[in-house]
Chain A
Amino acid sequence: MEDLVLQLKNQIIEVLNLEDMTADDIDASAPLFGEGLGLDSIDALELIVLLEREYGIKLSNPTEGKQIFKSIDSIADYVSKNRKK
């Protein structure tokens, strides 16, 4: 799981253009939206695309998103249980 968390951090830094930020700067348990990384709605859409492209996960239920994208830890947990690739 640690490897997956690190991989997700690096992928998120890249796709969301979090300039000047490294994986070490991101607290895996911190909220991604509002506080923490302060991501916005466009970032949320990019995360959905990231899960589909990199892990073959297609989110069919939008209400799931709130729970899945709570933190890097929650994304990693969901990915580990649902990944297709």
Chain B
Amino acid sequence: MKVLSQVQITPSSVILNGKSISASSINGIYREFIGDYPKFFKMDSLCKLGFVAAELLLKNIPIEEKENAAIILFNRNGSLVTDRNYQKTISKEDYFPSPALFVYTLANIVTGEIAIRHKIYGESSFYVLPNPEESTMNEVVRNTFLTSSPSFILTGWVDYDNDEDYLADIKLVTK
């Protein structure tokens, strides 16, 4: 597989294709490099993280080249942060279920947000793994190239635990 571009985002750094770029937070990355998608602020933290990481890799690629791409992401925590936040809205003492939180109680929503933004119609999937196991992740990606022939695949690890502990480590790859 050939890596076309890659980005790594942590609470302390943003590294795009080997170069460190300035940005203070996930919202800071959005404001500095994106800024034209108000729906961003309605997303949960996992989606925001995946969205800004994907944006840095995909924003300069023409729409027609993205149409047949695939998105395959992995993480450990699933959508646990939002699951917990939603759970607080359905306690017996204070039962007001939040629809806006409920829609993000699935980890694979982040792949949908990216696909909608970039008009990507190829395969999208999200796997929850105990750890970022390269061999497992590469196998899934290789199988996707064999079965659906995407133009390229946006793939990698997008995991959010809290404001001090998150990691997006994703790349664009071709066969």
Q: Which residues of A are interface residues toward B (Cβ below 8 A)?
A: 15-19, 38, 42-43, 45-46, 49, 52-53
Contacts and interface: CB of A to CB of B under 8 A. Distances in A.
B96 A53 contact: yes
B100 A46 contact: yes
A18 B38 CA distance: 8
Contact of A17 (B41, B97, B99, B103): B41
B42 A49 contact: no
B98 interface: yes
A16 B100 CA distance: 8
A45 B100 CA distance: 8
Contacts of A19: 27, 38, 41
Contact of A49 (B38, B41, B97, B103): B97
B42 A17 contact: yes
Interface in B1-51: 27, 38, 41-42
Range for the number of chain B residues in contact with chain A? 10 to 19
Chain A interface SS verdict (over half)? helix
A18 B100 CA distance: 13
A16 B97 CA distance: 14
Interface string B145-158: 00000000000000
A52 to B, nearest CB: 7
A42 B100 contact: yes
**Taking each of B27, B97, B100, which has the highest tally of chain A beta carbons within 10 Å of its own beta carbon?**
B100
Contacts of A52: 96
B165 to A, nearest CB: 22
B42 A16 contact: yes
Interface in B54-110: 96-100, 103
Contacts of B38: 19, 38
Contact of A42 (B27, B96, B97, B99): B99
Nearest to A49: B96
Nearest to B89: A49
Contacts of A46: 98-100
Contact of B41 (A18, A38, A42, A45): A18
Contacts of B97: 49
Contacts of B99: 42, 45-46, 49
